[in-house]
Amino acid sequence: MIALMVKCVFSMPLVGLQKFINSIFKLAQLPLSCSHYS
């Protein structure tokens, strides 16, 4: 849900959104990853 709000605010395609969320997880040093968009 939050990811879709970020997508709308920044007008990102889904691939860009996935990379953006993964980079946030990496910066926060969280062992998580965003699921594939397809």
How do residues 1-38 score in pLDDT, each as one tens digit? 788 888 899 888 888 888 989 999 999 999 998 877 66
Write down the pLDDT at residue 28. Answer: 96
DSSP character for 13?
Answer: -
Which position has the token pair 């990496």? 26
Write down the pLDDT at residue 37. Answer: 63
Distance, in Å, from the CA atom of 29 to the CA atom of 18, rounded to the nearest integer, reads 16
- Is the whole model's pTM more than 0.85, yes or no? no
- Residue spans of alpha helices (H) in the chain: 2-10, 14-27
Distance, in Å, from the CA atom of 38 to the CA atom of 36, rounded to the nearest integer, reads 6
